[in-house]
Amino acid sequence: MQLSQFYNLPFTKSAAEYVDSLDVELLDIVYKNVYDIALNRAESRIVQALEGDIEKPLFADSQITEMEVELLSYPIARLLLSCIGDLYAIRRYALKEAKSSGEFLKGVLSKMDEGEALSFLEELAHELGVRVEHMEGGSRMSLTSYLKYASHIHEPRWKLVNREVDRGMVVVRRDEMIRLLQEAMRTKVEEGMPLSVPPEVCRRLSVRIGRIRTLLGEKKARFEQENVRGPERAYPPCIREAMRLVREGMNLPHSQRFALTSFLLTIGWGVQEVVELLASSPDFDEKMATYQVEHIAGSTGTTYTPPSCATMQTYGNCMGKDELCARVSHPLAYYRWRVKKEGRVKKEGE
Ligand code: SF4
């Protein structure tokens, strides 16, 4: 791959080899002012990931130095996150890095003809350790890779039973290939994190680490304030677990997402609040999520009630049972019992 193609896909093998070829020592980066620009960009990558989306710049072919800074900032961002050691921050960063790279990829591919686009995707897949083949009208991914990455995407169409499998290869459309590679990118960014970083390096980066920690704390506090109606401790363990997974950027299986959504709507969350909670999912599509949440809230005339404990157990969504669970048969009963016991849950604004 050319530098102009991978500076925004910094987790590829080519990118790592290019950074190695720059022969930059870790201690130089933290001690020499000349690398401040790369440190600044590394910090902004993390800040952008925590606050929204990572903006990927576009450079002209002549701007080799700027591209190198962009490339160098990626391993430094991983270093900073490793010093911080917060799993939420690491997952969020990996998710946003992959999402922005997926967008960047779509832009790059849209400027290529079909043949170029297919060989670019093949090369990228190879760089990420994913085996793909191209054929007329689509692509095929090895069964092992498909299972590894599609298992994180919980829409029914990704299930193997709904796919065409041909001699150990799964047939995928081009947009599906991009989505699967995005998942491979997310896995790649998260791989090995947190890294083992010499304490001296973390100490040297302490001012930047402090700033990121402050932002992280504010973000977590804001999330609690804005999105939690009443004390979350009154929610049943299965729902708290589903919320934890969503906040950590995991895709929930359809049945668990339904249980979470219907439960929250029933206890008084608004549609927008639920959509905002789901926004951390890697597959989040605001239009689709709003439609689904509104549907569950009763936009078509049918209001859905959350599933009972028996149904939750059948789908493997009954998680973290505690003593009270033995006395209830429905997550709502659990919640109401706890609310009654602890006093009425304050409504937002009261
Ligand atoms: S027993 Fe019911 S309330 Fe308790 S965790 Fe399982 S599904 Fe939730």
Q: Which domains does the chain have, with CATH numbers?
A: 3-204 (1.20.930), 230-342 (no CATH)
Question: How many angstroms separate the alpha carbon of residue 317 from the centre of ligand 1?
Answer: 8
Q: Give tens-digit pLDDT for 255-290.
A: 999 999 999 998 888 888 899 888 877 778 888 889
Query: Is 83 annotated to bind ligand?
Result: no
What span, in angstroms and rounded, lies between the C-alpha atoms of 303 and 312?
A: 19
Query: Where residue 228 falls among pLDDT bands split at 50, 70, 90?
Result: very low
**Closest listed residue to residue 97, CA positions, set 278, 273, 249:** 249
Mean pLDDT of 330-345: 79
Alpha carbon of 242 to ligand 1 centroid (Å): 12
Q: Is the pLDDT of residue 61 over 70?
A: yes
Ligand 1 center–CA 243 separation, angstroms? 14
pLDDT band of 85, cuts 50, 70, 90? very high
Q: Any binding-site annotation on 202?
A: no
Per-residue pLDDT of 176-206, as tens digits, reads: 999 999 999 999 999 999 999 999 999 999 9
**pLDDT tens digits, residue range 134-170?**
877 678 999 999 999 987 776 668 888 889 998 889 9
Residue 35 has pLDDT above 80, yes or no: yes
Q: What is the pLDDT of residue 348?
A: 38
How many distinct helices (H) and strands (E) make up the chain?
17, 4
- Angstrom distance (rounded) from CA 272 to CA 62: 45
Average pLDDT taken over every residue of the chain: 87
Contact 28, 35 (CB under 8 A): yes
Q: Who lines ligand 1 at CB under 6 A? A: 236-238, 309, 312, 318, 320-321, 325, 328, 331, 334
pLDDT value at residue 155: 66
294 CA distance to ligand 1 centroid (A)? Answer: 25
Render pLDDT for 283-324 as a digit per residue (tens, 0 to 9). 788 888 898 998 888 776 666 789 999 999 999 999 999 999
Q: Which of 244, 309, 314, 323 to mutate to test the pocket of ligand 1 (most atoms within 8 A of CB)?
A: 309
- Beta carbons of 185 and 93 less than 8 angstroms apart: no
